[in-house]
């Protein structure tokens, strides 16, 4: 949460120069507070596991959040009981008239499928167009990030010769961005994907800003100029065992799977995985909620999208 101080305090100017957010008394007096409405469009097969991962990160914020779980219309989930979906999820068509302060769209196991061949691609695009006028800020994870970059900017991905799987160091490029506030210069993030967009394609769009990247993973964290779209090409939400589960699944399916890099102790699957990215994940979600949702959204939620 921001620090509130007297308007004329000299520290305000000094901290502002460092891009540290300080709320003056005059601004604080004009603020009203209400719970933030955050929707999660869960595209992952094991929706229950993903719910736990995301809610763990969201719950780390002192802000009060009202969470709504969404699903694609007419899409059958093969790995989550229908009873669970009927009880806890709402179809997008049932909420498209509503507005939300924040939206999270998860990844999906569609890394080798052409976007237009995805069975729900048409509604995915409809949801993104809806979010532009009904959501203050949207956070896209992994497949959803690349799919949204294609939808908004026409950025076509390239398919790697082999799957990128492991935990990789990322370098902060824009340390004054509120989204990476408090980050170390380098931090670790899990990745699990085939797709990658060359950096020069991002650089063709003035509205896109790369905040963190690595040579092996490419751009990891991007945003548009307004902060209404946040693109995360990795999986900071992953549990400690998620990459291990994926690796064992691929091995059991006789898929030529490489051992996830920098993940197991001494790079030995028999010694088990270690979680080295949790602090970054908590900070990323906290910064997004604070600076791009809470500080940006209007008190009257019905004013979202109005000029």
Is 27 annotated in a binding site? The answer is no
d(CA 289, CA 65): 10
Candidates 146, 191, 209, 235; catalytic one? 235
75 is catalytic: no
Candidates 209, 237, 246, 280; catalytic one? 237
142 is catalytic: yes
Is 192 annotated in a binding site? The answer is yes
Alpha-carbon distance values, 277 to 95, 146, 184 (Å): 34, 22, 12
237 is catalytic: yes
Contact criterion met (CB below 8 Å) for 220 and 189: yes
Instruction: Return the closest-CA partner of residue 70 out of 119, 37, 112.
Output: 37
Is 163 annotated in a binding site? The answer is yes
Residues 6+ apart with CB under 8 A from 139: 102, 103, 104, 105, 230, 232, 288
Supply φ then ψ for residue 108, to 5 degrees.
-155, 150
Alpha-carbon distance values, 100 to 31, 119, 264, 305 (Å): 19, 26, 39, 10
Residue 76, CB-side half-sphere exposure with 13 Å CA sphere: 1
Strand residues in the chain grouped as ranges (E): 3-5, 22-24, 36-41, 65-71, 89-91, 100-105, 135-141, 158-172, 186-196, 208-214, 218-224, 229-232
Q: What SS3 string covers 184-242?
A: CCEEEEEEEEEEECCHHHHCCCCCEEEEEEECCCEEEEEEECCCCEEEECCCCCCCCCH
Candidates 51, 142, 209, 280; catalytic one? 142
- H or E stretch at 146: helix 143-153
Tokens linked to 30: 């004009």
Tokens linked to 233: 């090409």
Instruction: Return the closest-CA partner of residue 41 out of 133, 146, 154, 141.
Output: 141
Q: Which residues are known binding-site members?
A: 163, 192, 249
Q: Which residues are known binding-site members for substrate?
A: 163, 192, 249
Active-site positions?
142, 235, 237
């Amino acid at each position: 949460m921001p620090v509130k101080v007297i308007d004329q305090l000299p520290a305000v100017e000094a901290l502002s120069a460092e891009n540290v957010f300080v709320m003056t008394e005059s601004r604080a007096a004009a603020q009203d507070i209400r719970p933030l409405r955050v929707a999660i469009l869960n595209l992952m097969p094991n929706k229950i596991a993903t719910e736990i991962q995301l809610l763990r990160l969201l719950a780390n914020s002192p802000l009060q959040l009202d969470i709504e779980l969404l699903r694609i219309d007419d899409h059958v989930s093969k790995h989550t009981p229908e009873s669970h979906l009927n009880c806890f999820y709402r179809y997008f068509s049932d909420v498209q008239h509503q507005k939300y302060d924040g939206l999270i769209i998860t990844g999906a196991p569609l890394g080798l499928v052409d976007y237009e061949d995805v069975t729900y691609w048409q509604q995915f695009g409809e949801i993104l167009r809806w979010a532009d006028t009904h959501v203050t800020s949207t956070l896209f994870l992994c497949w959803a990030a690349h799919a949204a970059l294609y939808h908004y900017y026409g950025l076509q991905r390239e398919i790697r010769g082999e799957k990128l799987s492991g935990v990789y160091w990322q370098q902060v490029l824009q340390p004054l961005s509120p989204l990476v506030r408090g980050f170390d210069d380098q931090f670790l993030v899990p990745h699990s994907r085939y797709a990658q967009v060359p950096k020069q394609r991002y650089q063709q769009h003035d509205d896109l800003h790369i905040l963190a990247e690595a040579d092996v993973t490419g751009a990891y964290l991007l945003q548009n100029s307004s902060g209404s779209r946040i693109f995360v090409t990795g999986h900071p939400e992953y549990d400690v065992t998620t990459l291990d589960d994926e690796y064992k699944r691929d091995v059991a399916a006789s898929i030529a799977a490489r051992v996830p890099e920098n993940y197991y102790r001494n790079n030995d699957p028999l010694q088990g995985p270690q979680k080295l990215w949790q602090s970054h994940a908590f900070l990323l979600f906290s910064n997004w909620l604070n600076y791009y949702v809470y500080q940006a959204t209007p008190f009257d939620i019905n004013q979202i999208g109005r000029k």
